[in-house]
Amino acid sequence: MPQRTDEITSTDPATGEEIGRLAVTSPEEVADAVTRGREAFQSWRKTTFTERKRLVMAAREVILSEMDEIALLISRESGKPVAEALSMEIAPVLDLMQHFARNAERLLKPRRIGIGLYALMGRSSKMVYHPLGVVGIIPAWNYPFSIPLGEAVMALMAGNTVVIKPSELTPFIGLKIGEIFAKAGFPVDAVQVVCGAGDTGAALVEAAPDKIMFTGSVATGKRIAVAAAKNLTSTVLELGGKDPMIVFEDANLDLAAGAAVWGAFCNAGQSCSSVERLYVHESVAKELTAKIVERTKLLKVGGSGDDVSLGAMSSERQVAIVEDHVAQFIADGARIETGGVRESDTLFFGPTVISGANNEMRAMQEETFGPTLPIATFKTEEEAIRLANDSEFGLTASVWTKDYAKGGRVAEQIEAGSVCVNEVLYTHGIGQTPWGGFKNSGRGRTHGTEGLMELVQPQHIHVNHLALLPDAWWMPYSSTAVETFRGFATKFASGSLFKTAMLMPQLFRRIFELRGKK
């Protein structure tokens, strides 16, 4: 059937079969969705945390009761094995849901702020956190269930309503998310899903929600930042990565090899935090490479059964990038140890281990987003850090060593939002920990307390508990005023109680001067 411009077709990347077609939400309908979300916000913001928690926990029950069906849908529409739909999407998001359902109230509790010597003047300050309004969520296709669902849960627990625009490659998973919230009993329009490709996402940004949570490429992230700036809509941008794994000579090489294989090839390498560059100390490079190749050759690519490790890649466009990078590595003199080819006429690409890579190669700089693991070597700790940081990206990184002091020391010198020591990739699955990038890998955070704070408007409340006297800095000014302000600068602003005490006579002179002027 020919493709109409007002509909999108979802296909199974493993078979090319059509899954179904959906009407594209028009820009006017997207704007209406944001308006309705704003109306729904007026009552949703007044719900108690207990009520929000009840509904989120009910949504968890819906997922648990339909878990196998949801896992199959994720696998069918995104190409990943059912094993990964369960381990990398459903399990982590269920954990995130219980965490924010149970803890959002505590995390968003009004908080007293220490205001130093101002407290001596009978003042106090506290922070309160208000919901923002409507949060627009624009995710990528690679974790089409856990990313938008997790962000929606955080936004809802903070008192916002949400409009989700799923990726055009995974629209039915997006609709499923809407259905889960509806079945759980969320109010109408608290969670809405709009369908379409980039134009629909652009319409959502144009409709000026109160926040945009975007996950996708650097190029689209920049486009969204520009469009959002027109309305001063703030954005969280979760963008690409080229994540390094550093293996020191004292690392447990068996564990490092297993981690590299999973970190590079899970989700067919289509994770923002995939291991895309492996730097190993030259003295153990041969041994580690052999262990990695041996493990890689055991992996089952495609087909059916619980033992499938790599599914289909998401799209022809993605496979084309992988083919280009593999060809580039070969042209630049690197060596394909295993893999390097796709199964003809399919979107299955064999897991590919490449040795002899270095940072001068283009494919070591651009995000591949596919099942390739290029390996380069280093001689010293300083060189390893320099090579890892030699990238426009900075999402995650990992350091492998038995020396934990060295691991921590190196980790803190890596320019990346999350750095693991003796672990790879998986911390997006820990809802308690913040996620986000340095450099071109993004702006802002999702997950963790920092991620929750992106979804609220912080308000500072300041109270003068001794509102009996005028403040010394009020008008009209005078010579006494100027002398007092000099004292503020030299004594009060030092933060020293002792010096401030010396200012008291001057301060009282000034206050009485002002009182006399009343």
For the window 258-277, what string marks contact with ligand NAD as x by the rule CB under 6 A?
--------------x-----
Strand partners, 236: 213
Residues 396 and 442: their CA atoms lie apart, in Å, by 11
Q: How far is the CB of 272 from ligand NAD (least distance, A)?
A: 3
CA distances from residue 56 to 94, 160, 291, 335 in whole angstroms, order as listed: 10, 13, 44, 50
Number of residues that bind ligand NAD (CB under 6 A): 30
Q: How far is the CB of 420 from ligand NAD (least distance, A)?
A: 15
> Among residues 216 and 487, whose Cβ is nearest to ligand NAD?
216
User: Per CB under 6 A, which region of 114-122, 233-241, 289-297, 319-327 contacts ligand NAD?
Assistant: 233-241
Concerning whether 272 is annotated as a catalytic residue, the answer is yes
Q: Active-site residue among 151, 238, 367, 454?
A: 238
> Among residues 89 and 367, whose Cβ is nearest to ligand NAD?
367
Q: How far is the CB of 368 from ligand NAD (least distance, A)?
A: 10
CA distances from residue 198 to 27, 129, 133, 194, 214 in whole angstroms, order as listed: 11, 32, 23, 12, 12
* Of positions 54, 123, 223, 443, contacts ligand NAD by CB under 6 A: 223
Which residues contact residue 421 at a Cβ distance below 8 angstroms, ignoring those fewer than 6 apart? Answer: 398, 399, 400, 401, 404, 407, 408, 411
For the window 125-144, what string marks contact with ligand NAD as x by the rule CB under 6 A?
-------------xxxxxx-
Per the rule left: phi > 0, alpha: psi between -120 and 50, beta: everything else, 461 is beta
> Among residues 159 and 241, whose Cβ is nearest to ligand NAD?
241
Concerning whether 238 is annotated as a catalytic residue, the answer is yes
Binding residues for ligand NAD restricted to 354-393, rule: CB under 6 A: 367, 369
Distance separating the N- and C-terminal Cα atoms of the chain: 83
* Residue (of 37, 215, 264, 36) closest to 132 by Cα position: 37
CB 269 within 8 A of CB 368: yes
Residues 449 and 108: their CA atoms lie apart, in Å, by 9
Residues 400 and 393: their CA atoms lie apart, in Å, by 20
Does the bond joining 476 to the residue before it have cis omega, within 30 degrees of 0? yes
User: Per CB under 6 A, which region of 23-31, 220-228, 255-263, 336-344 contacts ligand NAD?
Assistant: 220-228
* Of positions 152, 205, 308, 313, contacts ligand NAD by CB under 6 A: 205
User: Per CB under 6 A, which region of 119-127, 235-243, 256-264, 380-388 contacts ligand NAD?
Assistant: 235-243
Q: Active-site residue among 195, 266, 272, 420?
A: 272
For the window 84-123, what string marks contact with ligand NAD as x by the rule CB under 6 A?
----------------------------------------
Q: How far is the CB of 120 from ligand NAD (least distance, A)?
A: 46
> Quick one: the chain helix, strand, coil %, rounded to 5?
45, 20, 35
For the packed helices 381-389 and 404-413, what is the interaxial angle rounded to 10 degrees?
40
- Within its chain, how far is the Cα of 301 from the centroid? 28
| Other Cβ atoms closer than 10 A to 258 | 15
Site of tokens 């289509």: 270
Question: What burial class does residue 51 get, using C-beta atoms within 10 Å of its C-beta: 0-12 exposed, 13-18 middle, 19+ buried?
Answer: exposed
Residues 264 and 257: their CA atoms lie apart, in Å, by 11
* 198 lies in the site for ligand NAD, by CB under 6 A: yes
* Of positions 25, 161, 220, 506, contacts ligand NAD by CB under 6 A: 220
Q: Tell me the residue number closest to ligand NAD, measured at CB.
A: 201
Binding residues for ligand NAD restricted to 13-52, rule: CB under 6 A: none
Site of tokens 């144009």: 206
For the window 151-190, what string marks contact with ligand NAD as x by the rule CB under 6 A?
--------------x-xx----------------------
Q: How far is the CB of 60 from ligand NAD (least distance, A)?
A: 22
Residues that bind ligand NAD (CB under 6 A): 138-143, 165, 167-168, 197-198, 201-202, 205, 215-217, 220, 223-224, 238-241, 272, 367, 369, 395, 437, 442
Residue positions annotated with a catalytic role: 238, 272
